[in-house]
Amino acid sequence: MFHKTSTKLAGLYLAIMMVIGLFFSFNVYQISTQEFRRGFPGRDIILQRLPMGQFDPETRDRFIAEQESRLMQAKERVIGRLVMTNLLILIGGGILCYFLARRTLKPIEESHNALERFTADASHELRTPITAMQSEIEVALMDPKLTLGKAKQQLQSNLEELAKLTALSEGLLKLAQLKDFKLSDKQVQIDSIINEAITRIKPLAKSKNIVINSKVEDGLTVTGDKPSLIEALTIILDNAVKYSPAKTEITITAHKNQKNVDIVVEDNGIGIKATELTHIFDRFYRADAARSKQGADGYGVGLAIAKTITELHHGKITVVSKPGKGSTFTIHLAS
Ligand code: ADP
């Protein structure tokens, strides 16, 4: 589709170029013939200007014929040059226009492809729980001995699938909303971000007997949007709890270095393989270990959201991890 559009756009560019080229050629031709006329005013004027009786008619006619033929040759040379120039514009310009059209359309093509990939991935992720729910309900309805207890169990399972769907659609909505994000110039206290994120994750950590320690330097601030920064940190903290065995520890530290304020979240969890580290910030990516981990439900959109929020604050997230040992995620924010 984009190849065809590039060709069409190149055709349009080339047509504009050719119209301009032909317009100039026409003018050049007009000006040159006027100039030639000045050099050779034409048979009648020559006859008027030549002193009477000084040349015999044969010499005079030969002189005029020679002048006329020179004028013709000069005109032909100009036409030849102009045709060559226009041909060169047509061929060279055609190639150049196609190249320019490809360049113009490249970013649009890339974002179109990304959108297509995203739509396909999102539909796939949405379909999985819906299909699971549909088949469970169908099986239950076909069961003639369906008891109230079994039906309740069924509804409970459907509720869980619905909770996953809600989480996924909220994640997708958040990603879409971040497109219109405008960075505020408010100062945000780092300790308040950390405390709020810990408060949100505490119930989950408590259910796994995980202790969250924090060591935060006093008076750290960054410029930005507090709710979004809390959300980014909550995602990382939530992952640290989800991908850690029970009765382990998570440590959050925050300190200032030369240019940044760094918030570091260190866990003693399952870790991430080096080959998977480069993908974990991609939308819908889940490492194998995470997929097989019981109780670590997710859709792989959390880190994509955290990364987008951090980048919108002109910061970045880095990660160091060792499978089986744990992971350290650092949010670097400009102070
Ligand atoms: P999910 O909903 O699957 O947690 P995320 O985008 O938050 O999605 O994370 C993407 C993947 O990165 C996870 O599926 C998991 O494989 C890996 N991951 C993220 N944080 C951790 C962590 N602290 N320990 C181990 N793996 C992690």
> How far is 334 from 316, CA to CA, in rounded Å?
9
Evaluate whether 255 touches 217 at the Cβ level (below 8 Å).
Answer: yes
Distance from C-alpha of 326 to C-alpha of 320, rounded to nearest angstrom: 9
Question: Which atom of ligand 1 sits closest to the CA of residue 296?
Answer: 4
The pLDDT score that the predictor gives to residue 202 is 96
What is the whole-number distance in angstroms between the Cα of residue 300 and the centre of ligand 1?
A: 7
Q: What is the pLDDT of residue 295?
A: 65
Helix axes 148-177, 302-312, angle to 10 degrees: 20
Cβ-contact 87, 21 below 8 angstroms: no
Residue-wise pLDDT for 312-326, tens only, equals 999 999 999 999 999
Instruction: Compute, in angstroms, the gap from residue 197 CA to the centroid of ligand 1.
Output: 17
> Are 265 and 215 in contact, with CB atoms under 8 Å apart?
no
Sheet with strand 211-216: strands edge to edge:
211-216, 249-256, 260-266, 326-334, 316-322
Q: Provide the token pair at 241.
A: 């709890």
DSSP tag of 253: E
Q: In the numeric block, which tokens belong to residue 2?
A: 């984009």
Q: Mutation test of ligand 1: which of 172, 233, 280, 321 has the most ligand atoms closer than 8 Å to its C-beta?
A: 280
For the entire predicted model, the pTM comes to: 0.72
User: Taking the CA of residue 231 as centre, how many other CA atoms within 13 Å lie in the half-sphere pointing to its CB?
Assistant: 20
At 175 the pLDDT is 87
287 lines ligand 1 (CB under 6 A): yes
How much is the pLDDT for 69?
Answer: 87
Is the CB of residue 222 less than 8 Å from the CB of residue 313? yes
| pLDDT < 50 regions, the chain | none
Tell me what pLDDT residue 279 has.
Answer: 93
- pLDDT value of position 296: 67
**Ligand 1 atom, smallest distance to 244 CA:** 24
334: phi then psi, degrees, rounded to nearest 5? -70, 130
